[in-house]
Amino acid sequence: MLIIPSKDNINDRRGLYSVMHGKNCGFELYVPYNNRCCGSSHGWLACVNDNFGVNLFNPFIKRTILLPPVTKVPQDIRKHAYRRDHYIKKVVLSADPSLCPNDYEVVALFDCNGTRIAHIKSGDNAWTHIDQTIRYFYGLHQIIGFDDVLYYRGQFLAASREGGVFSINIGNDSTHKPHVSMVLPIVPSIDDKAYLVESSQGDLLLVRKFQSLNYSECFIENFSFKVFKLFSASGGRTGPEWIEEIESIGDDAFFMGDNQSICVSASDFPGCQPNSIYFCIDDRVGVAYEEAQGSLDMAVFNLENRRFGTRYYCLSRSQKNMPPSIWILPTMV
């Protein structure tokens, strides 16, 4: 489902858009947060309160988990609405808190560009901050900014915009300083965003979104995607051995945005397009597929023909300033 602004633009309500039927559902959810959701993971929304604490909220069972503030936020961030709403970039859970109430972890990418990471376990009273400094040869070092994070086979992995993949090493004792380490090197290129997703077969995939502007047509945006498969090393070694671009994801369909990246088998959901990437538009201005009724908020990219599908969701003009849409997998536990 795509969580969208309510029909009447009511602040504490959200509508639901069905991908399978290509239309709005006939009911709305109560969501007591007026700002952008900075995450959707295992059926829970991550929302930020006025003190920059992270509230986990399941709109289907109406349950809330309050987490402490990630960090003390500078005043210049608090004074600017856009920077405030996007200061916490993405929040991802390791498991569903309803199923694992005493054994789930949370990672937050923040500082707008994902240049800072924090981690917290269920029952902790404070976040642990992760050192994002990568050291290279000759003493050179760099602070890496991350676009996405995914919990994969017992470990959090993060992807940089440049396509690098890093492990987030938490540690279980006070002598181990939490840090990130490189799994796959950065591959320089001009792209817009990078995502990590686990395929239905359990493979770890890196999805890179490329965005271009057509200056001759008033800054119209165009999007394309490339998918790379990370192969696990054999013989007891850990980490991917190499990376390979793949032309097809088969029956899978990916759902990308501010949410934890989701993969489903399209054959299990009639109306869902296989070999496709459903994605939310981050910038609602000047999109090439804008319709008369409003700006495009979600589109479908087909990897077989490298084109956009026929189904996409458009905001009405009165909804352009409402909190952006986000994907969610409903849970009822």
- Does residue 141 carry a pLDDT above 80? no
Structure confidence at residue 139 as a pLDDT band (50, 70, 90): low
- Does residue 105 carry a pLDDT above 90? yes
- Average predicted confidence (pLDDT) for the chain: 81
What is the model's pLDDT at position 26? 81
What is the model's pLDDT at position 238? 46
Structure confidence at residue 85 as a pLDDT band (50, 70, 90): confident
Q: Is residue 233 part of a domain?
A: yes
Mean pLDDT: which of 98-107, 126-135, 285-294 is highest? Answer: 98-107
Q: Is residue 333 part of a domain?
A: no
Domain that holds residue 191: 2-327
- Indicate which CATH number applies to the domain containing 153: 2.120.10
Buried b / exposed e along 83-115 (16+ C-beta atoms within 10 A): ebbbbbbbbbbbebbbeeeeebbbbbbbbbebe
Higher-confidence residue: 33 or 79? 33
Here the contacts of 272-277 (C-beta below 8 Å, separation 24 or greater) are: 272/19, 272/20, 273/300, 273/302, 273/309, 273/311, 274/250, 275/248, 275/249, 275/250, 275/251, 275/302, 275/303, 275/304, 276/300, 276/301, 276/302, 276/303, 276/309, 277/207, 277/225, 277/253, 277/301, 277/303
Higher-confidence residue: 221 or 90? 90
- Does residue 290 carry a pLDDT above 70? no
- Does residue 79 carry a pLDDT above 50? yes
d(CA 256, CA 251) in angstroms, rounded, equals: 17
What is the model's pLDDT at position 235? 36
The backbone torsions φ and ψ at residue 138, rounded to the nearest 5 degrees and listed phi first, read: 60, 25
What average pLDDT does range 8-34 have in this prediction? 84
Q: Is residue 98 part of a domain?
A: yes
What average pLDDT does range 84-107 have in this prediction? 92
- Does residue 197 carry a pLDDT above 70? yes
Cβ burial of 158 (10 Å; 0-12, 13-18, 19+) is buried
Q: Is residue 166 part of a domain?
A: yes
The backbone torsions φ and ψ at residue 301, rounded to the nearest 5 degrees and listed phi first, read: -110, 120
**In this structure, are residues 325 and 298 in contact, taking their beta carbons and an 8 Å threshold?**
yes
**Residue 245 structure tokens:** 């671009």
d(CA 208, CA 190) in angstroms, rounded, equals: 10
> Tell me: the pLDDT tens digits for 216-236?
544 445 778 999 988 654 433
What average pLDDT does range 110-120 have in this prediction? 86
- Does residue 283 carry a pLDDT above 70? no
Q: Is residue 99 part of a domain?
A: yes
What is the model's pLDDT at position 164? 84
Global confidence as pTM: 0.87
Number of helices (H) and strands (E) in the chain: give both, helices first.
2, 28
**In this structure, are residues 252 and 274 in contact, taking their beta carbons and an 8 Å threshold?**
yes
Which residues are within 8 A (CB) of 29 and not within 5 positions of it... i.e. 6 or more apart?
A: 3, 13, 14, 15, 16, 59, 60
Q: Is residue 332 part of a domain?
A: no
Q: Is residue 301 part of a domain?
A: yes
The three-state secondary structure class of 103 is coil
Distances in Å between the alpha carbon of 62 and those of 30, 32, 36, 43?
Answer: 8, 10, 18, 11
What total of structural domains would you count in the chain?
1
d(CA 310, CA 133) in angstroms, rounded, equals: 43
What is the model's pLDDT at position 161? 78
Structure confidence at residue 291 as a pLDDT band (50, 70, 90): very low
Which residues are within 8 A (CB) of 220 and not within 5 positions of it... i.e. 6 or more apart?
A: 213, 214, 286, 287, 288
d(CA 188, CA 182) in angstroms, rounded, equals: 15
Mean pLDDT: which of 125-134, 174-183, 306-315 is highest? Answer: 125-134
What average pLDDT does range 83-106 have in this prediction? 91
Q: Is residue 162 part of a domain?
A: yes
